[in-house]
Every structure is written in structure tokens, then in C-alpha cells.
């Protein structure tokens, strides 16, 4: 989650949030938060139609689940605690959903591997089915020769 979004949730300014993070930098290792690089920041600005001349001039910080959990201890307010609980619940739900989708993707990969190489066989079956569904061609009536 981005610092500005978290600041809004915690009902503090982005500056105040980042100030507290800097004062407690030992609590926020690289795997808890990081600053977006220039390319990511430019992409974010273009996606959100942020004016180049106004608004934020520095790339935002992005916080991982662990970083969000740590924020409640450095902001130390009732709002921060309530928001932190809700955010952790959202992360937990997202992890559950991703796990479910991961299982589905694994099943699809298994099916794909089983079908790999069977394309020609499947096409041949469809060709036979199409031939069976075509109306039988009748030859023009010829002369009937009576049996003798």
C-alpha cells in the first residue's frame, strides 16, 4: 500500500506518516517498505492522471503487510490501531483468495499438460464428426436394369 493511501486511512498527513517512519527507520527494513523507482512512479502518475507540474514530486513509499503492521506502533493512536486491524484482515483475505486461485491455476496446468500433444487427435475426431454430420451425397439416378 502507498504512503498517501495509508495516511488517509490513518487520518494523518502523508508528511506526518513519513516523518514517523523516518524517526523509526530501524523498524522498517527493506522487506517492510520501499520507495517506488522512477519508472514505477511515472507509471503511477500516468495511471492516475496526476499533473506533472503539481502534486507529489517525490516517489511514494510502498508498504508491505509487515510494514503496515509496524505503522500502528509508530503512529500510536486509536485510529491507527483500528485501521491496522482492518488492513491486516484485508491482507489475510487477499492471501486466501490468491491461494484459491493458485489451486485452480495448478489444476488448469495439469489439464493442459495432459492435452499437450493430443491436438492432432482432437482435430481428427472433429473432422470425423463433421463428416458424419454432412448430408450423404447421392448420385444422380441411373437407369435401373431389371434382373433377369
Query: pLDDT (tens digit, 0 to 9) for every residue of the chain, 148 residues total?
Result: 899 999 998 899 999 999 999 999 999 999 999 999 888 888 877 776 555 555 677 889 999 988 988 888 888 788 888 888 888 888 888 888 888 777 777 777 777 777 666 667 676 776 777 777 766 555 555 555 666 5
pTM value > 0.85: no
Distances (CA, A) of 141 to 50, 83, 138, 145: 79, 86, 8, 12
**Domain-embedded: residue 134:** no
How many domains does one find in the chain?
1
**Domain-embedded: residue 142:** no
The pLDDT value recorded for residue 98 is: 80
Using an 8 Å Cβ cutoff, are 37 and 13 in contact?
no
CA-CA distance, 49 to 143, in Å (whole number)? Answer: 82
Distances (CA, A) of 147 to 43, 144: 88, 9
Residues 6 or more apart whose Cβ sits within 8 Å of residue 50: 44, 56
Residue 52: give the domain boundaries: 3-112
Amino acid at each position: 500500500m502507498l504512503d498517501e493511501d495509508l495516511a488517509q486511512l490513518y487520518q494523518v498527513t502523508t508528511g506526518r506518516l513519513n516523518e514517523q517512519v523516518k524517526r523509526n527507520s530501524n523498524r522498517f527494513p527493506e522487506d517492510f517498505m520501499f520507495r517506488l523507482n522512477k519508472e514505477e512512479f511515472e507509471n503511477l502518475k500516468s495511471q492516475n492522471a496526476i499533473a506533472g507540474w503539481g502534486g507529489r514530486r517525490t516517489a511514494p513509499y510502498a508498504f508491505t503487510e509487515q510494514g503496515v503492521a509496524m505503522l500502528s506502533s509508530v503512529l500510536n493512536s486509536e485510529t491507527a490501531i483500528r485501521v491496522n486491524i482492518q488492513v491486516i484482515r484485508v491482507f489475510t483475505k487477499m492471501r486466501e483468495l490468491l491461494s484459491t486461485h493458485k489451486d485452480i491455476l495448478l489444476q488448469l496446468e495439469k489439464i493442459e499438460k495432459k492435452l499437450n500433444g493430443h491436438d492432432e487427435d482432437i482435430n481428427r475426431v472433429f473432422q470425423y464428426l463433421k463428416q458424419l454430420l454432412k448430408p450423404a451425397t447421392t448420385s444422380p439416378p441411373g437407369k435401373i436394369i431389371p434382373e433377369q
